[in-house]
């Protein structure tokens, strides 16, 4: 969607946000010339231990963390830029999606409408999980969507069985890999009663620097702390 497609007030906001991108267009052009323009950083994400709070509230731990991650990404400007028809655009929303394992022990994809309302997010996430786990067919791959619609995505993978140290995601064409990939592994104990989450962020370096990944990590921790306080 471009400013011409938006109401006047939304068009002003869109234009202002694209001006933010123009400040780093030269960085984008630099990394876009690379055969592989991706930055991939793996680290231990330090967050408050939200598991006791989730237990008290009857909220599944994974889905609470997913809610915090996705809603933080949505408010992180650098993670919302995409490439469409050779030019940079900025998306304002995306569906929630993550991988599950179905009854055949094969990967499948969930997909549901994003919301910042926690209880509604949890219920939608659980229903999407039920559908994806029950399907032998690979679903929610974006088949049938336009190229423009397919830009509205964040790729989420969870490996709760592993003390994740690093991950490399499959890439169809490196030069067009504009959708951030976020992964995490098994939750572990941190210092002073906190949690250490093995965490990985892969993104186009034309949009995202290591500094922005650090900002995202800090904002996720702050969101969790504010909710469980």
Pairs from 208-212 (Cβ < 8 Å, separation ≥ 24): 208/39, 208/78, 208/79, 208/180, 209/27, 209/39, 209/78, 210/39, 210/41, 212/76, 212/78, 212/79
* pLDDT at position 11: 61
* pLDDT at position 138: 98
Task: Give, in order, the Cα–Cα distances in Å from 139 to each of 26, 132, 207.
Answer: 38, 7, 29
CATH number of 152's domain: 3.30.559.10
* pLDDT at position 10: 60
Task: Determine the 3-state secondary structure of 67 from DSSP.
Answer: helix
Number of domains in the chain: 1
* Other CB atoms within 10 A of residue 2 CB: 13
Task: Give, in order, the Cα–Cα distances in Å from 150 to each of 27, 94, 103, 216.
Answer: 24, 9, 27, 23
* pLDDT at position 17: 77
Which candidate, 215, 173, 182, 7, places its Cα nearest to that of 83?
173
In whole angstroms, give the CA distance from residue 75 to residue 120. Answer: 19
* pLDDT at position 5: 61
pLDDT values of the chain reduced to their tens digit, one per residue, 229 residues = 455 565 555 665 667 778 889 999 999 999 999 999 999 999 999 999 999 999 999 999 999 999 999 999 999 999 999 999 999 999 999 999 999 999 999 999 999 999 999 999 999 999 999 999 999 999 999 999 999 999 999 999 999 999 999 999 999 999 889 999 999 999 999 989 899 999 999 999 999 999 999 999 999 999 999 999 9
* pLDDT at position 57: 97
pTM for the whole structure: 0.93
Residue 20: domain span: 3-228
Task: Give, in order, the Cα–Cα distances in Å from 63 to each of 33, 122, 133, 155, 215.
Answer: 38, 6, 15, 15, 22
* pLDDT at position 13: 63
């Amino acid at each position: 969607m471009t400013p011409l497609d938006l109401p006047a007030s939304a068009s002003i906001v869109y234009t202002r946000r694209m001006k933010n991108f123009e400040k780093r267009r030269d960085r984008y052009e630099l990394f876009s010339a690379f055969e592989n323009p991706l930055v991939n950083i793996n680290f231990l994400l330090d967050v408050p231990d939200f598991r006791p709070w989730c237990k008290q509230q009857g909220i599944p731990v994974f889905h609470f963390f997913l809610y915090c991650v996705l809603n933080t990404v949505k408010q992180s400007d650098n993670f919302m830029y995409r490439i469409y028809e050779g030019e940079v655009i900025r998306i304002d929303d995306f569906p929630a999606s993550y991988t599950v394992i179905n009854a055949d022990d094969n990967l499948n994809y969930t997909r549901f409408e994003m919301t910042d309302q926690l209880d509604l997010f949890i219920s939608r996430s659980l229903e999407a999980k039920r559908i994806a786990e029950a399907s032998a067919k690979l679903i929610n791959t974006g088949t049938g969507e336009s190229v423009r619609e397919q830009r509205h995505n964040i790729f989420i993978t969870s490996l709760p069985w592993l003390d994740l140290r690093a991950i490399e995601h499959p890439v169809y064409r490196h030069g067009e890999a504009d959708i951030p990939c976020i992964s995490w592994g098994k939750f572990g104990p941190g210092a002073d009663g906190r949690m250490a989450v093995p965490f990985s962020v892969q993104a186009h370096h034309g949009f995202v620097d290591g500094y922005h990944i650090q900002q995202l990590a800090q904002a996720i921790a702050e969101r969790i702390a504010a909710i469980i306080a």
